[in-house]
Structure 1
Amino acid sequence: MPYSHAPHLPAPEPSAATADIRLVVTDMDGTLLDDDKRVPDRLWEVLARLRERGVLFSPASGRQYATLAREFAEVADGMVFIAENGTYVVRDGEELSSDPLSPGVVAEVVTAARRLRADGVDLGVVVCGKRSAYVERADEAFLAEVDKYYLRHRVVEDATAVDDDIIKVALFDFGSAEATTAPALAPFVDTHQVVVSGEHWVDVMNRTANKGAALRRLQRELGITPAQTMVFGDYLNDLEMLDAADWSFAMANAHPDVVRRARHLAPSNNDNGVLRTVVRLLDLPVSGL
């Protein structure tokens, strides 16, 4: 079935197959991965065809760099990882850019999270460093969520006292992050990014940090234009990234604000939307998609 397109925007022109696409960037959860967090079966074949075409593929995620590197270990050579919502960008083990938080801000966010939990909100905080993530909550339910996104993490007594460059503070709310935790972090909005990155996650980062800023830096470094860039996303932490590409796609399952921001709509994450769209528009020799 062909990809669908947003009713308020034009469908990609047939000439897209011959467009000079040099960079494909995709969010992971809710976008490339299905709802069970599974990688599409045909991903590796599509990545091989992109590499043959000279197209760089880049995962852009709120996930930790170590987690992304493990997922793509077999094909990681030359791949750029836009990790931690753009606060840490790595290629071949070398840092390309980062945007650390000040220790004072980290302490303030962690203190706010502690107050929320003391007030009865069922949440946990993840202090995200370049080398590891750090958590104070050690129960099985919370750590099971942390494990999904942070391969390297440690339980510590005081997450504000770790020796690492902290690039993001993430809060996991077992209820609705958008309804409960994000509003409680309003005091940080004027000076920092407070981004709802999923149904249960809120991230606090520097105002200068987001996936879009990281992508624009990467484009400048590689000499790639927005017209040569294809981007896929589903949630609010993908908005700025969509703005950095002429070929911007919201998934059919995306947050309504993402659908409004993107130029086009791709099939859902459970329907191989990213791969089907890439194969169709770039006319890749991959059958069965």
Structure 2
Amino acid sequence: MITCDMEKGVGSCVDPVGVEGEWVLLEPEQVLAAPVCCEWLRAKFKENEKQCGTEQLQLHKKGDFRGNPDFYTQTSGCYCSNFKEKYVWQSPNLLSHSKFDPIDTCRLLGDREVLFIGDSTSAQAASTLMNTLYPGGCQNQIISAASDTLIGLSHKRGKTWKAWVEEFDHPDIVIVTMGAHVPKFAPIVDLKNESVYEMAIDQILEEMREMREQFPDMKFAWKTQQPGGCTTEILEPTNSTKAAYTIQDVRYNWGQFYERDLYLISRLQRVGMPYLDLRMLYSRSDGHISSQLNDGGHDCLHLCHGPLDVMGRLFHQLLSSL
């Protein structure tokens, strides 16, 4: 269990275990669970047109999309022409890469619908999951909706998480993500460090509790943040916790992501709410778009095709716990 001083908040948490597992070199015969990258932003999916289809998703207009029943789903921020995934995540707490079966995961899902709500990194994770589940046939039961801060802070994109849930008529499973667009300090009001993030978690958990009273069959979960930062090589492949503390606070509060993750997990553990733990990605700053494009750090947050392949196994684990 992660413990935090609730009065001191973010930055006061102690994690006695850390991230268990390591990134190991892929065997030559292993393939990614989400084998196709359909990059709509740069239209680089032309070589996979038969698999990806030709329509362009308007992710930034309406703000929501679901897995395509006929093609792999197009997404933004996955295409890096010089990047080839060389690693796979192995952990004693997670199904192995070689044993993951999308058909079995779809069986676990049944006829339930899953709504991911969050910023663009949530959309990227959701679309990766859609493509992972494509062979199982349940990819169109996964939906992504845009909400940069979940509760409508500032002028950020998307509706509130509650508005999206109501629009999709209270889906069976709701998975939320929050972090990159949540400010470190509240505007005008002089609040303590990180209080905005803590306040937002309090509000969302309370709203979830109230909604569960109305819809007791609904299940809620969170996804931790996708780390920022760019490096040319993988960081600390056997120690993602150590890698997390090397990331500098350059944009989007990157340097606070890990401490925020610890605080979030501690809160979720206290209320017994499950979560998709993506903290292994703190080692994968080599897999960000600008790490490969050498463009001066334009995008050190969205991932190239590969590191997020762990989503299928994490989702399978989540379903097993619901």
TM-score (norm 1): 0.31
TM-score (norm 2): 0.29
